[in-house]
């Protein structure tokens, strides 16, 4: 079993046993849950409220896209260990975290620009 440290996250590559790999992925998802879930839920609620306000169609489309992405991502942070998808490996968790960070940073910058 080999491991590497990527941006402060532990990444397991080529697990020797599927159960060990699933536990590792579940642990990584739980860490992401601690770090991001509350902010993701808050952002989702804000996007839901804003999507009901009048705005240009292009802006509404982008807003709904981010809302849909969050809607699909949040359940992965709540999944029980025995229901972690088999295809969800450490590399996917890393990409998943990058996507979360990108979305959160996008809206953090926008909020700071408005404030």
Q: Which residue has the higher pLDDT, 41 or 110?
A: 41
Question: Mean pLDDT throughout 85-113?
Answer: 87
Whole-number mean pLDDT of the chain? 84
Instruction: Provide the token pair at 42.
Output: 């808050």
Tally of domains within the chain: 1
Partners of residue 4 on adjacent β-strands: 11
Total-model pTM: 0.76
Confidence of residue 22 (pLDDT cuts 50, 70, 90): confident
- Rounded to whole angstroms, the Cα distance separating 91 from 36 reads 18
- Rounded to whole angstroms, the Cα distance separating 25 from 27 reads 5
Say if residues 12 and 90 touch (Cβ distance below 8 Å): yes
Residues in the chain: 115
Query: Quick one: pLDDT at residue 111?
Result: 63
pLDDT digits (tens, 9 = 90+) for 83-93: 998 888 989 99
Structural domain span for residue 96: 2-114
């Amino acid at each position: 079993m080999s491991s590497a440290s990527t941006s402060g996250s532990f990444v397991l590559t080529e697990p020797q046993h599927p159960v060990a790999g699933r536990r590792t992925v579940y642990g990584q998802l739980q860490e992401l849950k601690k770090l991001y879930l509350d902010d993701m839920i808050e952002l989702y609620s804000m996007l839901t409220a804003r999507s009901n306000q009048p705005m240009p169609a292009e802006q509404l489309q982008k807003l709904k896209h981010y809302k849909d992405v969050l809607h699909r991502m949040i359940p992965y942070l709540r999944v029980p260990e025995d229901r972690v998808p088999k295809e969800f490996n450490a590399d996917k968790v890393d990409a998943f975290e990058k996507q979360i960070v990108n979305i959160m940073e996008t809206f953090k910058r926008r909020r700071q620009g408005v404030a």
